[in-house]
Chains A and B, each alone.
Chain A
Amino acid sequence: GQQLNQSPQSMFIQEGEDVSMNCTSSSIFNTWLWYKQDPGEGPVLLIALYKAGELTSNGRLTAQFGITRKDSFLNISASIPSDVGIYFCAGQASGGSNYKLTFGKGTLLTVNP
C-alpha cells in the first residue's frame, strides 16, 4: 500500500520558536491534509490542500502542497504551549480510491514554556 514518511518523529522546542515538519511519498498524491491530535481526543483537521504548489494558512499555521505532488510541509510560527500534540499528515494517492486516506506516523511536538 501507499507509504507516507513523516519527519521528524518528535520535536522539543521553546515557546516562541517556529516549527517545521514534512511528509514525503514515493508516489503522487492528489490531496494533502494536516491534522492535530491532542491526548485522548480524535484528530482535528487543520489544513486541506488540493493543488500542487498551493500554500494555505490557518492562523499561525502554514502548509504547502509540494510541486512534485510527492510532499507537503507544515510550519507553525511563534509556538505556544497549546501547540503541544501529535501532528499527522494524510494524503489521497493519485490513481487510488477517491476516499482512502493514507496517514503518516505523526510528529510529536513538545513546547517548553
Chain B
Amino acid sequence: DAGVIQSPRHEVTEMGQEVTLRCKPISGHNSLFWYRQTMMRGLELLIYFNNNVPIDDSGMPEDRFSAKMPNASFSTLKIQPSEPRDSAVYFCASSPTGRVLAFFGQGTRLTVV
C-alpha cells in the first residue's frame, strides 16, 4: 500500500518567494495533519483537517501560512512570503478517523535563503 506521499522532497527558495508543499494522504484516511520539525522545537502540529475541513489551525505560525484540502486525496501548505526562519522539515501525516495515530510522509525539507 502506498503511504503518505509528499512533494517536493527538497525545496530551496529565496526569501519573499511563495512556497507550496503538497500531500496525498493514505486512501481511506479521513484525518490529515501538517507538522513542522526543527531542532529547537521538535515536531509541532500546524493544522489538522477532518473530512477535508480544517478543525484546528492554532499551530499555524502566522498569516503567511495557509493550508487547503480541496478533496480527500490532496492537501497543500503554502507559505507566502517565505522567510529564512521558515526553514524546517514539513511533514504531512494521515490517520483513520477515530484513531489517535499519525502515519507520516517522508517530509519536505525547506530551505529559505
Q: Are B42 and A105 in contact (CB under 8 A)?
A: yes
Complex: A33 Cα to B95 Cα, angstroms: 13
CB distance from B100 to the nearest CB of A (A): 4
- The answer to the question of B113 belonging to the interface, with a C-beta cut-off of 8 Å to chain A, is no
Please tell me the number of chain A residues within 8 Å of chain B, measured between CB atoms: 23
Chain B, range 29-52, C-beta contacts under 8 Å to A: 31, 33, 42-43, 45, 48, 50
Q: Is the interface of B mostly helix, strand, loop or mixed?
A: strand
CB distance from B24 to the nearest CB of A (A): 14
- The answer to the question of A97 belonging to the interface, with a C-beta cut-off of 8 Å to chain B, is yes
CB-CB under 8 A from B45, the residues of chain A are 100-101
28 A-B interface contacts by CB (under 8 A): A30-B100, A31-B100, A33-B100, A40-B106, A40-B109, A42-B4, A42-B104, A42-B107, A43-B43, A43-B102, A43-B104, A45-B101, A45-B102, A48-B101, A92-B100, A97-B56, A98-B100, A99-B50, A99-B55, A99-B56, A99-B100, A100-B45, A100-B56, A101-B45, A101-B100, A101-B102, A104-B42, A106-B42
